[in-house]
Amino acid sequence: RVEINLGKRGAKIPSSLYGVFFEEISGSGDGGLYAEMVRNRGFEDGVLPTGCTLDADGFAAAPHKHCYSNDSINRFRVPWSPDRFMTGWRTQYADGSQAASTITDEFPLNSATPHSLRLDLKSAYREVSAVNTGYWGMAVEAGKNYNLEFYVRAEETPGCRVAIITSSGRTVAQKEIKLTADGQWHRYTATFTPSVTGDDCSLNLIFPPKGQIWLDYVSLFPQDTFKGRPNGLRKDVATAIEQMHPAFIRWPGGCIVEGLTLENRVKWKETIGDPVKRPGEYNLWGYRSTYGFGYHEFLQYCEDIHSDAMFVCNAGMACLFRNGDYVQGDELEPLIQEALDAIEYAIGDAKTTKWGAERAKNGHPEPFPLKYIEVGNENVFSRYAENYNRFHKAIKAKYPQLTVLTALMFSKDVKSLDKVEVIDPHYYETADWFYNNADVYDKLPRNLPYKIYIGEYAAVGRSNLYSSLAEAAFLTGVERNADKVQLVSYAPLLQNAHFGRGHLIVFDNKQTYGRSNYHIVKLFAENRPDVNVQTRITGEQTAVPYSPKGFIGLGTVNTAAEFRDLKVVSDGRTVYATDWSDFAEKWKPLRGEWKVENGVLKQPVAAHEALLRLNDLNVGDCTITLKAR
Ligand code: AHR
């Protein structure tokens, strides 16, 4: 039984509360949010991470600098192999047998994409195809347009045929392209409109047995990107994030901000401008990304979905668990300048500032909605405070309107920060931990000297409805303490199904779905209350009522191993009763096994279920009863 006292109000819930955390991890950007269909378009996937060398076991390894423990020593290397130069590609004859090819840097197209694929066609005596299979197959839709771009340096080869072909060998679109065989690089473009829909297609550049060619930067994009932007985002993935109504988006991460080595960090200036001139980087998650979804695209996406932007800069520290490299004192200045330039790029005046003008040159004269800067990520390193203090001072001096966050969590080092605005604790804990710690913020005093941004949280272990509900229970505690916790984002956000199915949103080359915890976050963001109201709960169940705009909302998390009916009675009148058919409908996409037979919900296992939010009660006091079915 819950008694609600509208006269007694608790914490207000800021509109900033629910955001998202983007990081290039598990194929989230290339082959995911970023709509490029060609994998390894520049033949650069085999370039080692900057600052790393090959170790005796064939891994890309960061030189060991300031590791704390033996444990760290085993963790500063990532899988690598020279075959990665051909990731996504094969070269073949018409009968499918392998044709010879060479990865070479003899005629670099530019310094960002120095390698290319060389085909010695004359000595092949028959047609040779360079085939790209995209990110585990390319999915094309009949009647939609796809834009191709590629560069060739040809000697004698007069032309080529480009075709989109299904895995069963059916050509669904093709074009003849004339080449200029003058020994110079030339850019070629074409638009394809497939006649048939195919999930498992490849892009084939087919050359006659004449001369020699060097092929580089082969790109294929759907014309129909999110908001129709060039070099844009995949509509389904971008829409899934948009539907979470994020108040803010964090970019570029994550550990990726820190890098395997300092040189391996995300350098935002290398992620803007013409994509063919972006070098990309082999990241600490073990693969190379193009940064086609770069700083500008991130800011544009924020604007497009009405989110504030949160940029995370490197705090002069590489990832502690990789090589722990750091700089301090005056050596930090270039990195501070890098952060200031990033801010100027986002919000600086287009006419009077260098980086504001660069933004305008890239098609956006107006400022972007940058609101937050975080200094570093997870830099649980006692030297961090000194670095943060320098960054904070420099950023605030020039941009007092921005909120500057520290990467410190609940740490004694917070005391060493000259000025602390917002701390960033991360929680990767078990589902039981989340369930049992829904009150963790109730225990903190109300007069904290800082606000809290829960930058990353996720129940680890097996992801299921129970872990999602445990996260939901945790979020009820966040809302209840929203005077302390001002921002929260789940991590990681996106995952290509070929990397696993554990993150919030999972996708393959043609479809996207949110796991149950995606729907929890969406539900909370869609029903974000304005203010908490006092409740008194008797009996076993817990509830968190609140009052958005004159309506009563009730969130409950039922973790009992049985269904509960929920009934809301106001003035003796039942104003809400659980509608199981509707409930099952709502949750059907999440778990195949939910089904309703003759109006009764059938569930194969006694699991934990039911987050119900009621926001349609225009009542004063009401009584809520939860009883076993
Ligand atoms: O979310 C994955 C990683 O977990 C993030 O990059 C890092 O900040 C955290 O440790």
3-state secondary structure 505-561: EEECCCCEEECHHHHHHHHHHHCCCCEEEEEEECCCCCCEEECCCCCEEEEEECCCC
Please tell me the predicted confidence (pLDDT) of residue 502: 84
Please tell me the predicted confidence (pLDDT) of residue 462: 72
Summarize pLDDT for 537-566 with one digit per residue, the tens.
Answer: 665 544 444 433 445 555 555 555 455 566
Q: Say if residue 517 is exposed, middle or buried (CB neighbours under 10 Å; 0-12, 13-18, 19+).
A: buried
* Residue identifier of the C-alpha nearest atom 3 of ligand 1: 254
* Residue identifier of the C-alpha nearest atom 1 of ligand 1: 492
**What would be the CATH architecture of the domain defined by 20-35+225-526?**
Alpha-Beta Barrel (3.20)
Cα of 505 to ligand 1 centre, how many Å?
A: 16
Ligand 1 probe mutation, 20, 22, 25, most atoms within 8 A of CB: 25
Please tell me the predicted confidence (pLDDT) of residue 536: 72
How many alpha carbons lie under 13 Å from residue 137 in its C-beta half-sphere? 17
- Residue 117: name the closest of 126, 127, 107, 125 by CA: 107
From the CB of 492, is ligand 1 less than 6 Å away?
yes
* Residue identifier of the C-alpha nearest atom 6 of ligand 1: 254
pTM, rounded to two decimals: 0.88
Helix axes 333-347, 384-398, angle to 10 degrees: 40
From the CB of 46, is ligand 1 less than 6 Å away?
no
Give me the long-range contacts of 363-368 (CB less than 8 A, separation at least 24): 364/296, 364/299, 364/300, 368/299, 368/300, 368/302, 368/303, 368/309
CA distance readout (Å), 612 to 4, 246, 601: 17, 21, 16
CA dist., res. 492 & res. 250, Å (int): 11
Please tell me the predicted confidence (pLDDT) of residue 558: 56
Stretches where the chain sits below pLDDT 70 are 1-2, 66-75, 537-629
**In whole numbers, what is the pLDDT of the chain averaged over residues?**
87
Please tell me the predicted confidence (pLDDT) of residue 611: 34
Cα of 514 to ligand 1 centre, how many Å?
A: 20
Please tell me the predicted confidence (pLDDT) of residue 63: 80
- Residue 326: name the closest of 376, 396, 252 by CA: 376
Atom of ligand 1 nearest to the CA of 377: 8
* Residue 77 token pair: 């290397």
From the CB of 610, is ligand 1 less than 6 Å away?
no
From the CB of 23, is ligand 1 less than 6 Å away?
yes
From the CB of 424, is ligand 1 less than 6 Å away?
no
Ligand 1 probe mutation, 426, 428, 460, most atoms within 8 A of CB: 426
Summarize pLDDT for 346-404 with one digit per residue, the tens.
Answer: 999 999 999 999 999 999 999 999 999 999 999 987 899 999 999 999 999 999 999 99
From the CB of 491, is ligand 1 less than 6 Å away?
yes
Cα of 391 to ligand 1 centre, how many Å?
A: 22
Atom of ligand 1 nearest to the CA of 23: 6
From the CB of 378, is ligand 1 less than 6 Å away?
yes
From the CB of 494, is ligand 1 less than 6 Å away?
no
CA dist., res. 500 & res. 426, Å (int): 22
In DSSP terms, 617 is beta-bridged to: 552
Cα of 429 to ligand 1 centre, how many Å?
A: 13
Please tell me the predicted confidence (pLDDT) of residue 75: 57
Atom of ligand 1 nearest to the CA of 255: 6
Please tell me the predicted confidence (pLDDT) of residue 461: 80
Ligand 1 probe mutation, 23, 78, 312, 517, most atoms within 8 A of CB: 23
Phi, psi of 64 (to 5 degrees): -75, 120
Summarize pLDDT for 17-66 with one digit per residue, the tens.
Answer: 999 999 999 999 999 999 999 999 999 999 999 999 898 888 898 887 76
In DSSP terms, 150 is beta-bridged to: 188
* Residue identifier of the C-alpha nearest atom 2 of ligand 1: 492
Please tell me the predicted confidence (pLDDT) of residue 32: 98
- Residue 315: name the closest of 404, 397, 238 by CA: 404
Q: Say if residue 22 is exposed, middle or buried (CB neighbours under 10 Å; 0-12, 13-18, 19+).
A: buried
Quote the distance between the C-alpha of residue 172 and its chain's center: 32
Residues 6+ apart with CB under 8 A from 277: 110, 112
Cα of 613 to ligand 1 centre, how many Å?
A: 31
CATH number of 89-222: 2.60.120.260
- Residue 206: name the closest of 245, 165, 242 by CA: 165
Residue spans of beta strands (DSSP E) within 357-473: 370-375, 403-406, 422-423, 426-430, 451-454, 456-460
Please tell me the predicted confidence (pLDDT) of residue 469: 86
Atom of ligand 1 nearest to the CA of 492: 1
From the CB of 252, is ligand 1 less than 6 Å away?
no
Please tell me the predicted confidence (pLDDT) of residue 603: 41
Cα of 21 to ligand 1 centre, how many Å?
A: 10
Domain ranges of the chain: 2-13+531-628, 20-35+225-526, 89-222
Q: How many CB atoms lie within 10 A of CB 387?
A: 25
Residues 6+ apart with CB under 8 A from 165: 171, 172, 201, 202, 204
From the CB of 254, is ligand 1 less than 6 Å away?
yes
